[in-house]
Amino acid sequence: MDYTLNIHGRLLDLATPQVMGILNVTPDSFYAASRQQTEQEIARRASQIMAEGGTIIDVGACSTRPGSQPVSEAEEMERLRWGLGIVCREVPDGIISVDTFRPDVARMAVDEFGVGMINDVSEGSERMFRMVSRLRVPYILMSVQPSIREMLLSFAAKVQQLRDLGAADIILDPGFGFGKTMEENYLVMNELEKLLVMDLPLLVGVSRKSMVYKLLGGTPDEALNGTTVLDTIALVKGASILRVHDVRAAVECCRIVEKVKGKS
């Protein structure tokens, strides 16, 4: 998609698909290898994401894995202040996203650390929409709807609401693993290209999720190959951003798909 994100005056061209690396400052994310608990681990992970070709670091401080209980807003902010301080020091030129559904957490991250993007794992709220519109940062709007048809209806209404509030850059996330059965996840992937009618970039996050390992057997630790297959399908169907644990594999996936398309 020929779309450019404005991140505090820095332009990120999505004509070439981008990779967002996951950095969790939590003790309970579903994929154990993604949990970064010490200053050294956070610094190493941030550097690794950039070194392997990622362009966005998505920092999360409140697990949304199935069955988890969200930590308090105060604890989420405390974790983020600690983690973002390390990430900003380690990769001062990196584009940082914060994974949160809380408007005040979003405000803190942008105002105090210059975070460039908000990744909202809820379906959004009036208060969050007003906040990101005021902050003037790209906003990732996720859907928990179980089908493309319902997703399009929901996205259309919410995108209009965001536009009316002055939001500039909106990215759509079909929300694989949220509010969907395994069968519904695969039906959404099958019809993913229909979301392009919204004329907005798509973010796909299937990395090591249960839709992979429950279908193939095994655990999240064994789900890289299945993840790469789905990432490839998503790119062919028009995804602009892949949100992943395994950055190098996703970057290679992007390069190969772009070559097949004759774009590199």
Q: Going by C-beta distance under 8 Å and a sequence separation of 6 or more, which residues neighbour residue 255?
A: 264
For 61, half-sphere exposure in the C-beta direction (CA atoms, 13 angstrom radius) is 21
Q: Which amino acid does the sequence have at 134?
A: R
Could you confirm whether 243 is annotated as catalytic?
A: yes
Cα dihedral: 150, 61, 64, 220 (round 10): 110
Q: How far is the C-alpha of 197 from the C-alpha of 191, rounded, in Å? A: 12
User: What is the distance, to the nearest Å, from the Cα of residue 183 to the centroid of all Cα atoms in its chain?
Assistant: 22
Tokens representing 21? 């690396």
Length of the chain: 264
Q: How far is the C-alpha of 13 from the C-alpha of 241, rounded, in Å? A: 11
Q: Which of 194, 243, 248, 259 is catalytic?
A: 243
Q: How far is the C-alpha of 101 from the C-alpha of 106, rounded, in Å? A: 8
Q: What angle do CA 53, 57, 62 make, to 5 degrees?
A: 145
Q: Which of 209, 248, 259, 261 is catalytic?
A: 209
- Active-site residue set: 209, 243
